[in-house]
Chains A and B, each alone.
Chain A
Amino acid sequence: MIVSKNDIPSFLDKLIGEYQVFAPVQEGSYTLFKQICSGADAALTDGNTKLPAKEIIFPQSEKLFSYNVTAEGAKLESIIDDRKKVVFGVRPCDAKSLTLLDNVFNNDKYQDPYYLTRRANTILVGIGCNSPASTCFCTSVKGGPFDTKGLDLLLVDIGDAYVVEVVTEKGKTLIDNAGFASASEADKAAAAKAKDEAQVTCQVNTDGLKEKLDVNFYDPIWEKIHEKCLGCGACTYLCPTCHCFDIVDDAVDCNGCRVRNWDSCAFPLFTLHGSGHNPRTSNKERYRNRIMHKFKYFVDNFGEIACVGCGRCIKNCPVNMDIRVVLEDVRGSEARLDS
C-alpha cells in the first residue's frame, strides 16, 4: 500500500477519534513524541526525536495506585491506563527497544500490569531511516534503519509518499479502512532503492565484546573509562532501553498515591544501603555497571544486547563520552579474572 505524505494529517485526524495518537512534535530546535490533537501537528522530519518513544509505554512518572487508609481498613485502587494508543513515526531503534523492555516487565516470575497493559493497547507505526545520523549504530547491535522488530507497520519514505509495509495483524487493522491505494511496482522499487541506499556509516565492532566483559570486571581499563563521566545520568534518561525506577508516595497522611519515577544507576544514592555501605561507591563502579548491564548481564539473562544504537547518549553527553569508543576500549582490554 501507499499513502501520500499530504494525506497523513487527515489519516491521523481520523485515528485521533479512536486512539490517543502520539507523534513527533517540533519543540524549538528538536522533536519530541507528544500526544497530538491534530494530524497537522506531526513533524515527520528526518532523524530521531530528542527523547525516545519509551515514555509513552513506560512514563517518566506514573501513579501506580491510589489509597485511602482508615483505622478499619484500606481502599486501594490500581490506576491502569488501558486507553488505545497509536505511536506514529517511531524509528525502528525505538520500536526495538520496547521488545527488549518486554523481557524486564514480563519476567520469569512477575508481570508489570502498567507496562504490559499499555504495550498491549498500543500500535506502533514506524518510519524507516533514509538518512541515519552520524551517531547511529543500529546495525552494530542487530538492528537496522528499516528493521521491523517491534513495529506493527513500517512506512518507507519514497519522496512524496510512504510505501506501507504491514508487519502485524494489529498494524493491518489500523489501515484496513484507511483507503490507501495499492503500491505500484514502481513504488515498491522506489522503496527497495531507499532501503538499499540508507547508510549507517558507523560500525561498532561488537565481536568478542561479551566474552571480554565476561572476564574483565576487575580490569584497570574501568579506571580510565569512567574518568570524565560526571555521573549526571543524562545518558540513562535518554536511553530507550534503560528502565531503572524508584517508587515513592505522594500523599497527605493516609490519602494519596504511590508513584514510580525513572531513576538512574549513574546516581550514588541508587545503591546506597540503609547501613551506609554502598556496593558501587564511585563513578567507576556505576559506569561499569551500565556497560555490563547492557552488553553482558542483559545478554546473559535475555540473549540480547540492551542497546539499540540510537546514539542519543553520544549526542547529548555533556562531556562527550562516546559509548562506541568505550566499547572499543573494552574490547581492547586485557582479560583479568582476579579481584
Chain B
Amino acid sequence: MKNPYLPLPVKLVKNFTETEDKLIHTFTLQFLSEEDEKSFPYMPGQFAELCVFGKGEAPFGIASSPTEPGFLKFSVAKVGVVSTALHLMEEGTMVGVRGPLGNYYPVEEFKGKNVVIIGGGFAFTTLRSLATYMLHPDRRGDYGDITVIYGARNPGLLLYKEELAAWEQSPDINLITTIDRPVEGWNGRVGFIPAVTEEVAPSAENTYAIICGPPVMIKFTMPVLEKLGFPAERIIMSLENRMKCGIGMCGRCNVGGKYVCKDGPVFTRAQLNELPNEY
C-alpha cells in the first residue's frame, strides 16, 4: 500500500525574492533522482504539500509546468510557520514534497477553444503553470487565442517579471497587466481587475475563463464575466481552503460534501453554484 503521507526529499536549489516587498519568494526544488521525478507526474492547477522537516508541512500550488522538466517551482507568501521557515532557508537545504495533490485545469477540454486567464496578486502561481503548459511549442497549436489579464497592487508585486516581459513580446499570447494606482514609469494599464476585464472585453464565444485571485477580486469579476456571456460551466476557479492531509481524510477543507484537496482545488462556477458558500 502506497503511503500518501510520506514526502519525497527534494533539494532547495534557489530561494528567489520574487516581489519588491520581499513577502513572496519563489523556490526552485530539484528531485534527488530521475526515479523520484517520475513518481511525481503533475498537471497545471495541482498543488503539493511542502515539508520543512522540524516545522511541518503546508499546501502550495505548483507554479512550474510539467513542460519544464528537472525542477518544481513554488511561489510562497510569508504567512505562517512553514512559509516563514522556507523564506529563511539557505539554498542547498533538503526539504520534502508530497503530491501531486488535487485535480487540475481541464486542459483537454480547452483544446480547440480560446482561453482567458485572469489572475490577481500572488494567486498567479498555478496560472503561470497553465499558461506555460499551453504555450509549449508542442501544445500551442491545440488552443485558440490565449489572453492573460494579470493585476497587482503595484508593479513591484507582479510575479514572474522575466516571463511577463517575454510574453509581452510573444505573438502566441495576449498579455494585459494592470496595477491598482498610477506609478511613475509604468506604461501599462491602471485599474482593478474587474474594470480592466470589462474594458478588454474578451469574447465569450468558444472561450474558457480561468480565474484565480483574492475573494474580493473574484466577487467583482464574476458579474463582468457573466455580462460578457461566459456560462457558469466555462468559468473555472481554484479554491484555497485550509487543508492538512491533502487526501480527503482530515476533514478540514470541505465545501459542502466536496473536499477542496481531493475533489478540487479546481471547480467550475457551475459546480460551486451547487455548493454552500463556505470558501
Q: Which residues of A contact B (CB under 8 A)?
A: 64-65, 67, 69-74, 76, 78, 104-105, 107, 109-114, 116-117, 217, 242-249, 251-254, 256, 258, 260, 263, 265, 270-275, 277, 279-280, 285, 289, 292-293, 296-298, 300-301, 339
Contacts and interface: CB of A to CB of B under 8 A. Distances in A.
Contacts of B53: 67, 69, 74, 249, 251, 253-254, 256
A69 B250 contact: no
A71 B92 contact: yes
B17 interface: no
Contacts of B171: none
A289 B278 contact: yes
Nearest to B92: A71
Contacts of A249: 53-57
Nearest to A74: B9
A248 B244 CA distance: 9
A296 B257 contact: yes
A74 B96 contact: yes
Contact of B249 (A78, A243, A253): A243
B254 interface: yes
Contact of B248 (A109, A280, A296): A109
Contact of A69 (B77, B94, B245, B262): B94
B79 interface: yes
A279 B278 contact: yes
Given A245-B244, A256-B54, A73 B32 contact: yes
B3 interface: yes
A247 B257 contact: no
Nearest to A67: B53
A245 B244 CA distance: 8
B70 interface: no
Contacts of B32: 73
Interface of B is mostly: loop
B54 A251 contact: yes
Interface string B216-248: 000000000000000000000000111011011
B159 to A, nearest CB: 17
Contacts of A293: 251, 254
Please name the 7 residue pairs, one residue from A and one from B, whose CB atoms are nearest each other, closest first: A244-B251, A74-B9, A297-B257, A274-B79, A110-B247, A279-B278, A251-B54
Nearest to B256: A297
Given A73-B9, A109-B248, A301 B257 contact: yes
A216 B255 CA distance: 15
B119 to A, nearest CB: 16
Nearest to A247: B244
Contact of A245 (B1, B2, B245): B245
A67 B53 CA distance: 8
B83 interface: yes
B6 A78 contact: yes
Given A104-B249, A112-B4, 15 more contacts: A78-B6, A107-B248, A113-B3, A244-B250, A244-B252, A245-B244, A245-B251, A249-B53, A256-B53, A265-B252, A273-B240, A289-B278, A297-B256, A297-B257, A339-B277
